[in-house]
């Protein structure tokens, strides 16, 4: 489902509590040159948990070469020998739809794995076995890991593993990854593994004879069987076609004729025909190796789940979650209590004064002093900001988000909101980046990758840049407008209006297919504290690694601008613009700094709020919220969407924000709203 961001799923150096088995390598994470074990399977089957147990979670996360999809790698020791373990992105079939599925397939085909662990969900053997069969058919060295045995048992499902193993012709292991049950058995099977699967499914005579013909045209060496390649070609799998064209050169022309000749006899795509055949085979296997007593009970979990997805009950539930999870926990507790404590008490009263005195006394040049402890100094601005403001706000947000994510609520929210999101050119799938954007727009922009089409990715990126305020920004805006419910209301309405309007227009203007929505709903689960903490921790680590340096750079930039006096000129240039919004000159500073850190703009406003009228504050808050994304987000936008698109968005947002500010100012003045 791509719900949780791949990169953060397993990256922590997790406490070595499960290190009973001798399975992890030294902390060095280079797995080059080692024989590989690859984990593969649908999303949400517990691949990552098994990966953690195998590697002890000493992991590197890296982009798959040339792509933006990240994969986890680790090491595992079996029988005194080290193996490289790769956790691939969730994959539904060998014919990929999403970029992540493509990468999973590439790993399978290109890494030439020593062993492929196909992790499947015991509750859904029927839907999972066709892929196992396909992998086995392809001649890959498969071990089938049947996970979530505990949940299956609860539902009255019994699996005869001796029969299943015999019928599949490959080793199978029952597993409960959450508790680690079955890991030792898996280790045993890994130790004794030798490739001997030769299972072959026969398709109808037309397909079989075409497969034979194609096979005889394939002269090169492939990592999977020629039969499997031929079948993929018949199913018109783009990547396989490209690969075979490259490998076989002219011979592809002949192959293409064989394919087209066969396809003329079919009105259905061959992928459909082949899948049906695989399914029939899977059903045959299940008919003897699985007993389903079918304990039909409407558990309390099912009742809650249904309440969440029905609009009448689901929308109130959403507001409750937003109110407590976001507003109370992140806004009031994180951005209020914790920030006051850390920034005010710890940094403001203790660290910064002491450090400032120390620097002023010991370092000769004033400009260098300023660089470190000046108004925009590395420590006073950069470090203070990152630790005192970001840490509590973003930390509480990620904690809340991880809890919500682990319950399985987000897919339910997605389906609830899909219809609305379709109107703005997105699908329910976009709920995840949008909600995450309320925490950190930069991270959310990265997560737009999970969107299916380029069009959706572009719209999501634009909306994040324009109309989704991040938690740091929200914190300050709430502070400024607090006690002014009407102003806060106007702000909220204007932001929402622009979110919908721009989404709607973008959907109208951008070419491309309508988004479509499909999603598997994982069962509701009580989140495990250790998993939530791990996720929060890895997200925080990511945040500091990616964003913290940018704050430091921002501090240095502001400092050097000030040193050469460039700042004054830029500020002067901004005066007329802010005046157009009905704001005084001092507000220009807030806007300029807003680019370096989104909330700092708002914070700048906070300083001068006493000299502003409520109308001015409202206009400023709205403009700053819409105003250009922070420098970190812009960098990620460039990285993800390309320079041209990112800059276009940047300038659009810049002008649009001021235009809306101006219009709003006029409207409020004309209406004479006594804010």
Partner 1 sequence: MNISEAAQEMLEKLWLEIVEDKKGFIDVKKLGNTNVVKELAKTRCITKSDNRVRFTPKGRNESRKIIRRHRLAERLLHDVLEVGEDEMESAACKFEHIISEGVEESICTLLGHPKICPHGKPMPQGKCCRERKKITERIVSSLSELKKGQYGKIVYILTKNHKNLQKLLGMGVLPGMTVEIIQRYPSHVFQIGQTQIAVDTDIANDIYVRII
Rg over CA atoms, the chain: 28
Residue 311 binding partner 1, by CB under 8 A:
yes
Q: Is residue 267 a contact point for partner 1 (CB under 8 A)?
A: yes
Tell me the C-alpha distance between 394 and 414, whole Å. 23
Sign of CA dihedral 219, 221, 225, 228: negative
Q: Rounded to an integer, what distance in angstroms lies between the CA atom of residue 174 and that of residue 177?
A: 10
Q: According to the binding rule CB under 8 A, does residue 268 interact with partner 1?
A: yes
Please choose, out of 19-27, 73-81, 334-342, 512-520, the segment that lies near partner 1 by the rule CB under 8 A.
512-520
Backbone angles phi, psi at 276, to 5 degrees: -60, -40
Residue 385 tokens read as 């900001």
Phi, psi of 59 (to 5 degrees): -125, 145
Contact of 445 with 639, CB cutoff 8 Å: no
Q: Label the pairing between strands 142-147 and 81-87.
A: unpaired
Q: Which stretch binds partner 1 (CB under 8 A): 31-39, 124-132, 609-617, 658-666?
A: 124-132
Q: Are 437 and 468 in contact (CB under 8 A)?
A: yes
Alpha helices in 408-515 (DSSP H): 409-423, 431-437, 441-447, 454-467, 471-481, 485-509
238 binds partner 1, rule: CB under 8 A? no
- Measure the CA–CA gap between 607 and 503, rounded to whole angstroms: 33
Q: How far apart are CA 595 and CA 628, in angstroms?
A: 6
287 contributes a contact to partner 1 by CB under 8 A: no
According to the 3-state scheme, what is the secondary structure of 560-608? HHHHCCHHHHHHHHHHHHHHHCCCCCCHHHHHHHHHHCHHHHHHHHHHH
Site string for partner 1, 590-629 (x = CB under 8 A): ----------------------------------------
Query: Of these, 22, 310, 367, 666, which contacts partner 1 (CB under 8 A)?
Result: 310
CA distance 377 to 294: 66
What are the residues facing 37 on neighbouring strands? 85, 115
Q: Which is nearer to partner 1, 37 or 519 (CB)?
A: 519
Q: Select from 241, 510, 521, 667 the one that contacts partner 1 (CB under 8 A).
A: 521
Q: State yes or no: residue 519 binds partner 1 (CB under 8 A).
A: yes
Q: Which residue has the tokens 């400024």?
A: 480
By CB under 8 A, is residue 95 in contact with partner 1?
yes
Nearer to partner 1, 130 or 433 (CB): 130
Which residue, 38 or 148, is less far from partner 1 as judged by CB?
148
d(CA 660, CA 671): 16
387 binds partner 1 (CB under 8 A): no
* Residue span binding partner 1 (CB under 8 A) among the ranges 49-57, 302-310, 585-593, 637-645: 302-310
Does position 320 interact with partner 1 (CB under 8 A)? The reply is no
- Closest distance between partner 1 and the C-beta of residue 123, in Å? 4
Among 13, 21, 36, 127, the residue binding partner 1 under the rule CB under 8 A is 127
Nearer to partner 1, 148 or 630 (CB): 148
Residue 92 within binding range of partner 1, rule CB under 8 A: yes
Residue 462 lies near partner 1 (rule: CB under 8 A): no
Q: Minimum distance between the CB of residue 517 and partner 1, rounded to whole angstroms?
A: 4
Residue 293 or residue 670: which is nearer to partner 1 going by CB?
293
Distance CA 615, CA 664 (A): 9
CB of 70 to partner 1, least distance (A): 22
What are the structure tokens assigned to 366, written together? 């004033």
What minimum distance in Å lies between the beta carbon of 448 and partner 1? Answer: 19
Cβ contact 51:85 at 8 Å: yes
Which is nearer to partner 1, 81 or 419 (by Cβ)? Answer: 419
Site for partner 1 in 400-429 (CB under 8 A): 411, 414-420, 422, 427-428
* Span 147-186, contacts to partner 1 by CB under 8 A: 152, 155, 157
C-alpha closest to that of 105 among 281, 205, 261, 228: 228
Work out which of 516, 530, 611, 666 binds partner 1, going by CB under 8 A: 516
Query: Does residue 99 interact with partner 1 by CB under 8 A?
Result: no
What is the smallest separation between the CB atom of 16 and partner 1, expressed in angstroms? Answer: 34
- Give yes or no for residue 206 binding partner 1 (CB under 8 A): no
By CB under 8 A, name the one of 123, 457, 589, 641 that touches partner 1.
123
Size of the site for partner 1 (CB under 8 A): 46
134 lines the binding site for partner 1 (CB under 8 A): no
Tokens describing residue 316 = 């109130």
Give the residue, chosen from 272, 319, 358, 497, that forms a contact with partner 1 under the rule CB under 8 A: 272
Interface with partner 1 includes 201 (CB under 8 A)?
A: no
93 forms part of the interface with partner 1 (CB under 8 A): yes
Give the three-state DSSP class for 380: helix
In this structure, are residues 446 and 469 in contact, taking their beta carbons and an 8 Å threshold? no
Q: Please, how many CA atoms are within 13 Å of residue 321, restricted to the half-sphere of its CB?
A: 19
Q: Which is nearer to partner 1, 28 or 204 (CB)?
A: 204
98 phi and psi angles, rounded to 5 deg: -95, 165
In the shown chain, the binding pattern of residues 247 to 266 toward partner 1, with x for contact by CB under 8 A and - for none, equals -------------------x
- Burial code (b: 16+ CB inside 10 Å, e: under 16) for 415-440 equals bbbbeebbebbbbbbbbbbbbbbbbb
Cα separation, 355 vs 377, whole angstroms: 12
- Least distance from C-beta 410 to partner 1, angstroms? 12
Neighbours of 362 (CB within 10 A): 8
Q: Which of 60, 67, 124, 369 binds partner 1 (CB under 8 A)?
A: 124
275 near partner 1, judged by CB under 8 A: yes
C-alpha distances in Å from residue 109, one per residue of 57, 114, 449: 25, 12, 23
Does 2 participate in binding partner 1 (rule CB under 8 A)?
A: no
Q: Taking a C-beta distance cutoff of 8 angstroms, is the pair 614, 487 a contact?
A: yes
CB 274 within 8 A of CB 201: no
Q: Which stretch binds partner 1 (CB under 8 A): 90-98, 342-350, 355-363, 665-673?
A: 90-98
Closer CB to partner 1, 370 or 418, in the complex: 418
Q: How far is the CB of 566 from partner 1 (least distance, A)?
A: 51
108 binds partner 1 (CB under 8 A): no
Neighbours of 549 (CB within 10 A): 13
207 lines the binding site for partner 1 (CB under 8 A)? no
Residue 126 interacting with partner 1 (CB under 8 A): yes
Q: Name the residues that contact partner 1, by CB under 8 A.
A: 92-93, 95, 97, 123-124, 126-128, 130, 152, 155, 157, 266-269, 271-272, 275-276, 279, 283, 305-306, 309-311, 411, 414-420, 422, 427-428, 514, 516-521
């Amino acid at each position: 489902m791509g719900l949780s961001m791949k990169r953060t799923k397993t990256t922590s150096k997790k406490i070595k509590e499960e290190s009973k088995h001798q399975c992890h390598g030294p902390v060095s994470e280079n797995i080059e040159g080692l024989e590989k074990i690859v984990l593969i399977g649908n999303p949400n089957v517990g691949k990552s948990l098994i990966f953690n147990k195998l590697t002890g979670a000493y992991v590197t996360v890296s982009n798959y070469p040339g792509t933006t999809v990240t994969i986890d790698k680790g090491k595992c020791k079996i029988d005194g020998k080290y193996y490289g373990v790769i956790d691939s992105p969730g994959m539904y079939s060998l014919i990929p739809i999403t970029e992540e599925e493509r990468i999973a397939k590439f790993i399978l085909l290109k890494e030439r794995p020593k062993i492929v662990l196909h992790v499947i969900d015991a509750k859904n053997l029927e839907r999972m076995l066709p892929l196992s069969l396909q992998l086995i058919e392809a001649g890959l060295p498969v071990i089938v890991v049947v996970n979530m045995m505990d949940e299956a048992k609860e539902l009255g499902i019994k699996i005869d593993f001796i029969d299943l193993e015999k019928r599949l012709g490959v080793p199978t292991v029952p597993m409960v990854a959450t508790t680690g049950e079955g890991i030792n058995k898996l280790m045993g099977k890994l130790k004794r593994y030798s490739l001997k699967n030769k299972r072959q499914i026969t398709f109808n005579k037309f397909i079989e004879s075409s497969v034979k013909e194609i096979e005889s045209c394939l002269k090169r060496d492939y990592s999977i069987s020629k039969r499997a390649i031929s079948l993929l070609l018949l199913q018109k799998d783009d990547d396989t076609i490209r690969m075979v064209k490259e490998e076989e050169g002219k011979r592809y022309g002949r192959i293409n004729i064989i394919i087209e000749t066969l396809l003329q006899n079919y009105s259905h795509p061959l992928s459909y025909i082949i899948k049906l055949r695989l399914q029939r085979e899977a059903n045959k296997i299940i008919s003897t190796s699985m007993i389903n007593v079918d304990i039909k009970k409407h558990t309390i979990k099912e009742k809650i789940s249904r309440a969440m997805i029905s609009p009448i009950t689901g929308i109130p539930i959403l507001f409750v979650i937003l109110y407590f999870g976001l507003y109370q926990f992140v806004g009031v507790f994180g951005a209020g209590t914790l920030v006051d404590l850390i920034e005010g008490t710890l940094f403001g009263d203790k660290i910064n004064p002491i450090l400032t005195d120390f620097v002023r006394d010991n370092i000769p040049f004033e400009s260098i002093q300023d660089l470190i402890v000046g108004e925009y100094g590395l420590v006073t601005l950069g470090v203070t900001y990152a630790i005192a403001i970001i840490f509590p706000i973003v930390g509480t947000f990620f904690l809340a988000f991880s809890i919500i994510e682990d319950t399985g609520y987000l897919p339910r929210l997605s389906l609830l909101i899909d219809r609305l999101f379709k109107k703005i050119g997105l699908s329910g799938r976009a709920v995840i980046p949008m909600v995450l954007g309320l925490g950190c727009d930069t991270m959310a922009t990265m997560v737009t990758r999970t969107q299916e089409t380029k069009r959706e990715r572009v719209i999501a990126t634009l909306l994040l840049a324009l109309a989704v305020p991040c938690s740091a920004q929200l914190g300050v805006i709430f502070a400024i407008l607090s006690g002014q419910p009407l102003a806060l209301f106007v702000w909220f309405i204007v932001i929402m209006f622009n979110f919908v309007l721009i989404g709607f227009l973008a959907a109208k203007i951008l070419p491309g297919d309508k988004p479509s929505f499909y999603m598997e709903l994982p069962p509701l689960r009580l989140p495990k504290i250790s998993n939530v903490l791990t996720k929060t921790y890895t997200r925080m680590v990511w945040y500091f690694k990616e964003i913290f340096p940018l704050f430091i750079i921002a501090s240095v930039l502001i400092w050097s601008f000030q040193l050469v006096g460039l700042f004054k000129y830029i500020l002067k240039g901004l005066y007329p613009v802010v005046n157009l919004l009905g704001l005084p000159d001092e507000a220009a500073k807030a806007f300029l700094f807003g680019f370096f850190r989104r909330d700092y703009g708002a914070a700048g406003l906070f300083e001068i709020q006493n000299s502003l009228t409520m109308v001015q504050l409202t206009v400023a808050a709205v403009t700053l919220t819409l105003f250009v994304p922070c420098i970190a987000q812009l960098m990620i936008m460039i990285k993800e969407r390309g320079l041209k698109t990112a800059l276009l968005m940047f300038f659009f947002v810049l002008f649009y924000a001021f235009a809306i500010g101006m219009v709003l100012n006029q409207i409020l003045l004309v209406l004479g709203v006594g804010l």
